[in-house]
Amino acid sequence: MAYTRVPIGYNQPLAPGLYEAQLAVSGDISRATRTDLQRILSQKFGQALEVVDWGRAGGQYVLQFRVKSSTTSNPNPDIIQPAAFWIPVAITVAAIAGAIYYAYRFTVEIKSAFQLVSQPARDTAVGGVGVGVAGLGLGAVLVGVYLLSRR
């Protein structure tokens, strides 16, 4: 009986039928049992499969297994990636909001402290504080951009 070898993608679901996998394994798997191999394959491809045969052929391990019914592949692990992107963004937004709130509270305190000082001197002091707090906000934005660019 002639076999047709067709490459199968990693996340492609398997149709019912007999499959042969050639594995390039760096360790010794000679003590692997049918149960061990079936458990590993079931974790990847689903429950409806059976290990038929396994062994060495030409320096590679060969594994034959039969898929009994149509299976679905595991969910794509790349779904987690957007969360890894949004966490630094959320931290950056929280830092900027905190800096703005701190600037507001600090400005209110400075204004109340300078009530006894003349108007031109008060405006200069409050303006200086505003520039300083803007520098803090800009620093928070730069740190956020740096964290996002390291991803």
- The answer, yes or no, to whether residue 73 has pLDDT greater than 70, is no
Q: Are 71 and 45 within 8 A, CB to CB? A: yes
Per DSSP, helices labelled H in the chain are 34-45, 81-113, 119-149
What is the average pLDDT across 41-68? 79
Band (142; pLDDT cuts 50, 70, 90): very high
Whether the pTM exceeds 0.85: the reply is no
Lowest model confidence (mean pLDDT) among 76-80, 85-89, 101-105, 134-138: 76-80
User: How far is the C-alpha of 9 from the C-alpha of 82, rounded, in Å?
Assistant: 24
Q: How many CB atoms lie within 10 A of CB 74?
A: 11
- How far does CA 73 lie from the centroid of its chain? 19
pLDDT of residue 70: 59
